[in-house]
Amino acid sequence: MQREDTLPWYRQFWPWFIIALPASAVVAGLFTVWLSMQTGDSLVIQSRDGINVVTERNLAAEKEADKLGLSATLHIQAETGAVQLTLSALPDVQLPQSLELRMRHPTMASRDAGIELLRAMPGADGQAMWAGHFTTPPRDRLYVTLSSGDSWRLTGEWNGESAIELGQSGRSGDVTN
The SS3 of residue 176 is strand
Domain ranges of the chain: 10-38, 61-176
Which CATH architecture does the domain made up of 61-176 adopt?
Sandwich (2.60)
pLDDT in tens, 17-37: 999 999 999 999 999 999 988
Stronger pLDDT, 176 or 165, i.e. the higher one? 165
Dihedral of CA atoms 20, 22, 28, 33 in degrees, nearest 10, equals -140
Other Cβ atoms within 10 Å of 46 Cβ, number: 9
pTM score, two decimals? 0.64
pLDDT in tens, 91-149: 888 888 989 999 998 888 888 889 999 988 877 777 788 999 988 888 888 899 998 87
pLDDT at 174 over 60: no
Q: How far apart are CA 70 and CA 169, in angstroms?
A: 10
